[in-house]
Every structure is written in C-alpha cells, then in structure tokens.
C-alpha cells in the first residue's frame, strides 16, 4: 500500500516569497492533517480536514497560511509571504478518522533565508 | 489545557542496553495513546497504540505501558540497536465535538552508541 506522498522534499526560499506544498494521502483516508515541526519540537497541528471540509484550523496563521483539499483527496498548503520563523518541516498525515492511526508522510523541509 | 510532557529530553545509551522513556499527559477526555518513532529527516511511524483499558503492549523490542489513573505512559526499549537512534514522540488522542484531536509531546531524542 502506498504511503502518504509529499512534495517537494526540500525547499529554500527568501523571506517574503511564496511557497506551496503538496500532499497526496493514502487512498480512502478521509482525514488529512498538516503539521508544522520546528527543529527540536513535536509537530504542531496547522489544519485538519475531514474529506474536503475543515475540522480544525485554530492554529493556522491565516494571515499568511492557507490550505485547501479540493475533492477531498490531495491537499496543498501555501505560505504567502514567508517569514524566517516559518523554517520548519511541514508534515502531512492521513487517517480513516475517529481514533484510528494517523500515517505520516516524509515531510517537506522549508528553509526561509 | 491539554498537554503531553516527555522525559528525558535526550538520552545516550550504549548498544545492547535497555532504556525507558516517560510520558505524562493532562489530555481529557482520553481516547488513546501512541508512541511514534521519528528517524531524522522522516515522518513519524507508529510503534504502539494503547486504549484506556490496556496496561501493556509490545512490538518487538518495544514495550509500552499505560497507567490511565496517573496519566502516565512509558516506552521501554530492550537490547538497543544503533537503528533505534531516533526521536520518540508520545501522542495522545482526545475526542471533541469536531472529531478526534492529537496532542504531541516534544519527543525524547535517543542516541545509541557503540
């Protein structure tokens, strides 16, 4: 079974530029999460989707971050404009929902210079 | 406030030795607790999952315990190997009106040396 796919694996941008990350969850998984993991810390939830609806985006900095999950499958996370403190690994995870396990992708490492 | 705290923050052990990682949580209402292993540069991978009624669960050389009364969990690694070097993250799931939520600990960074 294919896992959660994310791209790109690495991205370096200058501050104030824009960047987008893509996630393809495991087939059939209704729940999709985006996490931000700063070096040395645990992942922090940015947004949680159930199919194509947003369940929780309370910690998403909406002035610069946006995410969508068109058709309830793939998802994109965008940052515009980026700040130095956005440097982190952005993890996408998917699950069947409820209390089942969340499966993680390998993440996108973003460096803002 | 729902929180998950892990200790120690980092640990260095010799290959072949055992070690125990700790996780304390204040998450409520509790649904389940998972231990994840995160290798450098990779996403977390689940090791064990425990519900309220489970006290112990093993996965090879990994044994997790859960005390739901004291809200504590531990992950014991037996006969450590170099490949065990990774970050171990405790994740507690709780239920809300908006569905299940995951609360992550900051992880314990384990290094196994020769």
Give A10-60 as a DSSP string.
Answer: EEEE-TT--EEEEEEPPTT--EEEEEEE-TTS--EEEEEEETTEEEE-TTS
- Beta carbons of A104 and B45 less than 8 Å apart: yes
B82 secondary structure, DSSP code: G
- Beta carbons of B100 and A99 less than 8 Å apart: yes
**Tens-place pLDDT, residues A10-30:** 999 999 999 999 999 999 999
- A67 CA to chain B: closest CA distance, Å? 18
The answer to whether B10 touches B108, Cβ cutoff 8 Å, is yes
Does A106 contact B at CB distance below 8 Å?
yes
Q: Does position B25 have pLDDT exceeding 80, yes or no?
A: yes
**Tens-place pLDDT, residues A75-106:** 999 999 999 999 999 999 998 876 678 899 99
- Beta carbons of A98 and B100 less than 8 Å apart: yes
What is the token pair recorded at A98? 């409820």
- Which of A99, A101, A106, A108 is the best substitution to test chain B (most B C-beta atoms within 10 A)? A99
- Is residue B48 packed enough to be buried (19+ CB in 10 Å), middle (13-18) or exposed (0-12)? buried
- Beta carbons of B43 and A91 less than 8 Å apart: yes
Q: Does position A57 have pLDDT exceeding 80, yes or no?
A: yes
- Beta carbons of A42 and B106 less than 8 Å apart: yes
How many contacts (CB atoms, under 8 Å) link A and B? Answer: 55
- Beta carbons of A48 and B99 less than 8 Å apart: yes
Residue A64: the pLDDT is 97
Chain A CB contacts of B100 under 8 Å are: 97-99
Q: Which residue in the set A31, A43, A97 is minimally distant from B104, CB to CB?
A: A43
Chain A CB contacts of B99 under 8 Å are: 31, 48, 50, 55-56, 97-98
Q: Give the Cα separation of A54 and B38 in Å (integer).
A: 27
Nearest 5°: the CA angle B20, A100, A8 is 85
Question: Of A60, A77, A72, which Cα lies nearest the Cα of A6?
Answer: A77
**Tens-place pLDDT, residues B30-78:** 889 999 999 988 899 999 999 888 999 999 999 999 999 999 999 999 9
């Amino acid at each position: 079974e294919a896992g959660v796919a994310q791209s790109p694996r690495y991205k370096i941008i200058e501050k104030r530029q824009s960047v987008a990350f893509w996630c393809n969850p495991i087939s059939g998984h209704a729940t999709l999460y985006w996490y931000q993991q700063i070096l040395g810390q645990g992942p922090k939830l940015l947004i949680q989707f159930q199919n194509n609806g947003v369940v929780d985006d309370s910690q998403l900095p909406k002035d610069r971050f946006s995410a969508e999950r068109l058709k309830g499958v793939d998802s994109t996370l965008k940052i515009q404009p980026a700040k130095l403190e956005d440097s982190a690994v952005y993890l996408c995870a998917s699950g069947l929902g409820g209390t089942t396990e969340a499966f993680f992708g390998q993440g996108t490492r973003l460096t803002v210079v | 406030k729902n929180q998950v705290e892990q200790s120690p923050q980092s640990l260095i052990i010799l290959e072949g030795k055992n070690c125990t990682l700790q996780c304390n949580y204040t998450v409520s209402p509790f649904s389940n607790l998972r231990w994840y292993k995160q290798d450098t540069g990779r996403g977390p991978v689940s090791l064990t999952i425990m519900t309220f009624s489970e006290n112990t669960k093993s996965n090879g050389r990994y044994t997790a315990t859960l005390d739901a009364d004291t809200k504590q969990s531990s992950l014991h690694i037996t006969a450590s190997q170099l490949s065990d070097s990774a970050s171990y993250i405790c994740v507690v799931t709780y239920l809300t009106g908006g569905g299940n939520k995951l609360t992550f600990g900051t992880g314990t960074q384990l290094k196994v040396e020769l």
